Structure 1
Amino acid sequence: TPVPSTTSPSPSPSPSHSAKPSPSPRATTKKSPAPVRQAAPSRAPGTAVVASARKGVGVWDAPGDEQGLAASGARWYYTWSASPRGIVDSGAPGFVPMIWGEKNTDDATLATARANGPYLLGFNEPDMGGQANLSVERALDLWPKLMAHGKVLGSPAVAYGGDTPGGWLDRFMTGARERGYRVDFVAVHWYGGDFRTEAAVQQLRTYLEAVHRRYGKPVWLTEFALTDFSQGVRFPAPAEQAAFLSSATRMLDTLPWLQRYAWFGLPSAAGEANTGLYHPDGSWTEAGQAFRTAG
């Protein structure tokens, strides 16, 4: 059984939930909404919602996602695609487009991304077969298409091992430097299989610090949560997830080079203990309550 490292999350067949959102707004493979009608999350008038400039969340198609985003206190979000997927930006959360994989490097998708703000996220988990699944050389060959649009450009976001010498991200960053390519910030994902709050937060911090030392660039943490992939997929108790979220965001806000972070993710399926911020009935999960007051 892999033991979570103090410098990076343990490798796994899929260091993300089993059904990642599809990059296509019209695709049918996505996070499945609950089989029951999902209510819009309540703004809970008694709760003081904190809107940190760094605080963000990943959003996939689910009933109530637009209302949940607006009430969450997130200041930015992304959808694993070049467009906001029908979410109307109310003025508080800012959308950040992503070029998910090779099939999204066509001119039309790149033009959509260009029209959606000053930032651009690179390929999603190119080191994983179930995700963008790109060799380093192929990713480098495609990179000029992303650079050409003049965005503040984030690296491909690897699933794990962003600090590993000779790992996917290390080889990409070395190749980009040798070719004179631009990478403005480094994006990484992190999932912790150690559900003890203090230990998990320290493991996350150690990993991010190692990534920053290695590349010397600002860092965006574009997916994170407590999820153990060592034997299938295992989640902590709701109170453990919430405690981690609260403590981790406090820690993240102390890192001057950590520009943004995004929780994975916004909605929660019915009857599941997972990482979502609101239940299908519209009420906030314990993690959701923690997220709203974080930052």
Structure 2
Amino acid sequence: MKLFAVVSLAALVAGLPTSGDTPKTLSARANDVPFGNKKGLAYNDGNAIRALSRPGSATWAYNWGPALDAPAFQGIPMCWGATGECNANGIMAKIDRGDTPWVLGYNEPDMNRDQGGCNLRPSQAYDAWGNDMFKFQQRGARLVCPAISSYDTANSQFTGYASGLTWLRQFAYYRNNPWEFRCDAQALHWYGVEGRSGRDQAYLFIDYMNRAHALGSPIRSIYGRAFA
């Protein structure tokens, strides 16, 4: 879901601890954030978010595109959709200038376009991913897998196919190809559960992050990119 407010909060959440963790993996996770700060912003107008660049606040930002116009922040570019819906030239320019260590993948492929998603089946996203994203990886950027919604179902009322973690699982294991060679981090959106208390929402969010992390390796980072 594309957020049309000027600013929304985003965060890079280090991979959640597991029973198999060692001091080495925990240390790697703690440092696996852009520019030493987990807090970032989503924006439409780069100049409008200057006031939020105070010390100790957010240090990076994204705008569902190449993120070229937020001078007070480190812009993290996004390849919004498959093939022609990705500004590859703008993203490559940022990588070649050394301006970004990450490239964000497709935005909510499990949602319809009128809801802000790029609307791709897991198989479609998988087949397009190499052509769209591997060239950035070859230039040294790390890839963030497609950002899913939190509507986890095998048959979404919005698209007719999988959504949420079910979509992510089908994408990750399509053709039984290990996904750790395709993505360096996971991207998740969280919209909560209507009618639940704040305490319940917090527990549900933590459970959501744990279940997402269980899909990947124990040192993979998680981008919690949109909250509502």
The TM-score range, normalised by the shorter chain, is 0.5 to 0.7
Partner of 1:247 in structure 2? none
Aligned to 1:88: 71
2:106–2:118 Cα contact (<8 Å) kept: yes
TM superposition shift of 1:177: 5.4
Q: In 2 relative to 1, CA 214–54 (structure 1 residues): closer, same or farther, beyond 3 Å?
A: same
Aligned length in residues: 178
Cα distance in 2, alignment partners of residues 176 and 95 from structure 1: 34
Alignment of 1:1-295 (within 5 A): 16=1, 20=2, 31=5, 53-61=37-45, 64-70=48-54, 73-84=57-68, 86-89=69-72, 93-102=73-82, 103-105=84-86, 107-115=88-96, 116-130=99-113, 131-144=117-130, 145-150=132-137, 151-161=141-151, 167-175=166-174, 178=177, 181-192=181-192, 193-194=194-195, 196-216=197-217, 217-225=220-228
Gaps of 5+ in 1: 1-15, 22-29, 34-50, 226-295
Q: 1:114 to 1:175 in 2, by over 3 A?
A: farther
Q: Distance in 1 between matches of 2:195 and 2:142?
A: 34
Q: In 2, distance between residues paired with 1:99 and 1:174?
A: 21
Pick which of 151-160 and 139-148 moved more.
Answer: 139-148
Cα distance 1:105–1:58, how it changes in 2: closer, same or farther (>3 A)? closer
Deviation of the 1:194 alpha carbon: 4.2
Deviation at 1:31, TM superposition (A): 4.5
The share of aligned pairs that are identical, in percent, is 24
Separation in 1, partners of 2:207, 2:187:
16
Query: How far does residue 206 in structure 1 lie from its aligned partner after superposition?
Result: 0.7
Taking structure 1 as the reference length, what is the TM-score of the superposition? 0.52
Q: Which has more helix, going by share of residues?
A: 2
Alpha carbon RMSD of aligned pairs, Å?
Answer: 3.1
- Contiguous gaps of at least 5 residues in structure 2: 8-34, 155-161
SS state at 1:138 partner: helix
Q: Give the greater-gyration-radius structure (CA).
A: 1
Give the AA of the match of 1:55.
K
- Check conservation: 1:104, 1:110, Cα contact below 8 A: no
Taking structure 2 as the reference length, what is the TM-score of the superposition?
0.66
Change (3 A) 1:63 1:53: closer
Distance 1:55 1:195, change over 3 A: farther
Tell me, what secondary structure is at the counterpart of 1:215?
coil
The alpha carbon displacement at 1:196 in A equals 2.2
SS of alignment partner, residue 214 of structure 2? helix
Conserved? CA contact 1:123–1:132, under 8 Å: yes
CA distance in 1, matches of 2:146, 2:56: 27
Aligned residues of 1:163 and 1:211 also touching (Cα < 8 A): no
Higher strand share: 2
How much does 1:108 deviate? 1.9
Local SS of the residue matching 2:226: strand
Task: Give the drift of 1:60.
Answer: 1.6
